[in-house]
A and B are shown apart, each in its own frame.
Chain A
């Protein structure tokens, strides 16, 4: 399957899972809302330009917003993820390997530790900004912190499970 088509289907699949499954599961707790859809942005290839990334992020967020009826809320959070992603990649991937790195961020291209740090940071930024926007209109600070923390943990768990299912690490022989 060609790349644009692959990303198109992935876009739809992520949105579907988020809007139809994750948003509909009965709430475990008032702190916990799992988010997975922004993994689409994380999985975009290294070579994606910053402007294209921003526009994709905005489209992803605004499409989910139509489903959740919160125009602008998720769009704002995905924009932040799309804006911060290149900076984090620059920080985390060493310069000499970055030029060799083809494909997209994954455990194989970035290494286990830095990849987990990379998705954790982006998840925290995404959730922090999302809950912050909610918090601006109401709520207490404790609620803000609790929701960011617990939602991020559950989301990270989901992201790791998704990673293991769809992009298993192939064993590389090391001497």
Chain B
């Protein structure tokens, strides 16, 4: 017994080193499995506050770009207003309301919420974005995050007032997307090299592709509404190993100057998941 104590005392530094090292690595492994760090929630609130102060300064640098994006989006939305559509008088009583979308018989599927970006990275292999909205504002994990010009990522973790988004620039991000012209679906990934290029996999060689083709979110995506702009094709070449193309995509969203984004909640998500789980059993 005495020898054991002596041994522990002699190697105490090594043991402490190994103990802390094991703690650190197990945290890392746990996190990369689940992307949820419960014991870090308080710390994230604190760093969120610091980042908020910091972005209140840096956001002036990207003000121009963001104003332009907002103006473009306002233009698009204004074009959808009912004021822009006249009822041409044909003598027939109009049965339709002069609205483009008749919401009277529809159930809401997606709910949009605006959020401010308070921290953002593009230089790491796994990039995360912090938003200034959290549990108390109704944000839950798995909600989709889009910018006015392209999709951004998916909420992975929330604290009381902050939420953390796994950016498209993340090794583990995979989004179901589709080629807008043909509707053929594939999986969007990132290889971690260039933040201005995303990789699209699973589009068969038989598809007619062109440079500059738009890629949109597919109807199979659980989080994103179908048909949201993802980006455009920059280059594509046939993959020697399989039956598919290797496609490089330029993301529509500018990850370098994100400021305001929308968080989209799929109100049917829970129901769909439960149903699919039940069938699997």
Query: Which residues on A are within 8 Å of B, measured CB to CB?
Result: 20, 23-27, 30, 33, 50-51, 54-55, 58, 61-62, 66-73, 75-76, 79-80, 82-83, 133-134, 137-139
Contacts and interface: CB of A to CB of B under 8 A. Distances in A.
A72 B31 contact: yes
B24 interface: yes
B28 A72 contact: yes
Given A26-B122, A66-B40, A138-B125, A51 B24 contact: no
A30 B17 contact: no
A134 to B, nearest CB: 6
Contacts of B25: 72, 76, 133
Given A23-B123, A26-B122, A76 B47 contact: no
Interface string B18-40: 00110111111111100001001
Interface of B: 12-13, 16-17, 20-21, 23-32, 37, 40, 43-44, 46-47, 54, 121-126, 128, 164, 171, 192-195, 256
A71 B16 contact: no
A25 B122 CA distance: 9
6 tightest A-B contacts by CB?
Answer: A72-B27, A72-B28, A72-B24, A76-B24, A27-B123, A75-B24
A53 B30 CA distance: 26
Contacts of A134: 125
A57 to B, nearest CB: 8
Given A72-B28, A137-B171, A51 B192 contact: no
A55 B128 CA distance: 28
A51 B43 contact: no
A80 B25 CA distance: 12
A138 B122 CA distance: 17
